[in-house]
Amino acid sequence: MDAEILRDVSFHLEPGSFHFLTGPSGSGKTSLLKLMYLARRPSRGWITMFGQDLVHLPRAKLPEIRRRVGVVFQDFRLINHLSTFENVALPLVIAGAHLDEYREDVEELLTWVGLGERLDAKPPTLSGGEQQRVAIARAVVAKPDILLADEPTGNVDPIIGQRLMRLFIELNKLGACVVIATHDDSLVREISAPTLSLENGTLVKHPASAAGTIS
């Protein structure tokens, strides 16, 4: 039996809120994110999202929920044989969109993250920071209802990091709930937003108000 990583973690995130998720390495941040993007189901307790009980939701219904959740993975998870443009467009393609419907949006988004000249580049030819930007663009291109980001600025320089945070903030202003897991205390200090803090698998700090809005 696997060891229990998270214990008695309970919180509620309002639609359109913005939160940081903090805690030392091994505290359970990535495990919590995996529960939130449905990569795992809890061994006990429950998770509700968009008014649905995800623990008992039939597996056939999970893809419908996942399409409403954008995820920035720490290890990028790009598809090596697809171009930068194709990787970013993938959520739209899966949703059934046609090229003429999304070409301009994808190109504009890649320009915003500083990759407008790398549309045809394959992931193996990109630096770690460039791959991270592709992963972020892919996560936000479909304007998800919830965006979960695991250390999204960890491999980019400060200028690009600030640009990416502005992207997250703008997406939040459009109505997305944003949760960013980070070790970067300066990032947390710079952006005034509620913080969820984990320690040894337990939530030791959470916002007094679940609204979690930023200006």
Q: pTM here?
A: 0.87
Give CA–CA dist 176/189, Å, rounded: 21
Cα dihedral 90, 147, 168, 181, rounded to 10, equals -120
Eight-state DSSP code of residue 46: -
Question: What does the pLDDT read at residue 120?
Answer: 97
Give residue limits of the domains in the chain: 1-68+145-215, 77-143
Is residue 27 predicted with pLDDT exceeding 80? Answer: yes
Mean pLDDT in the chain?
88
First CA to last CA distance, the chain: 45
Distance CA 55, CA 38 (A): 9
pLDDT reported for residue 209: 46
Average pLDDT over residues 93-121: 94
Mean pLDDT of 132-161: 89
* Each residue's pLDDT tens digit, 149-162: 998 888 788 888 88
Nearest to 198 by CA among 24, 47, 17: 24
Q: What is the pLDDT of residues 177-194, one digit of tens each?
A: 999 999 888 888 888 888
Q: Residue 169: pLDDT above 60?
A: yes
What pLDDT is stored for residue 33 in this prediction? Answer: 93
Give the CATH number of domain 1-68+145-215; options: 3.40.1280.10, 1.10.260.40, 3.40.50.300, 3.90.550.10. 3.40.50.300
Give me the pLDDT at residue 1, please: 43
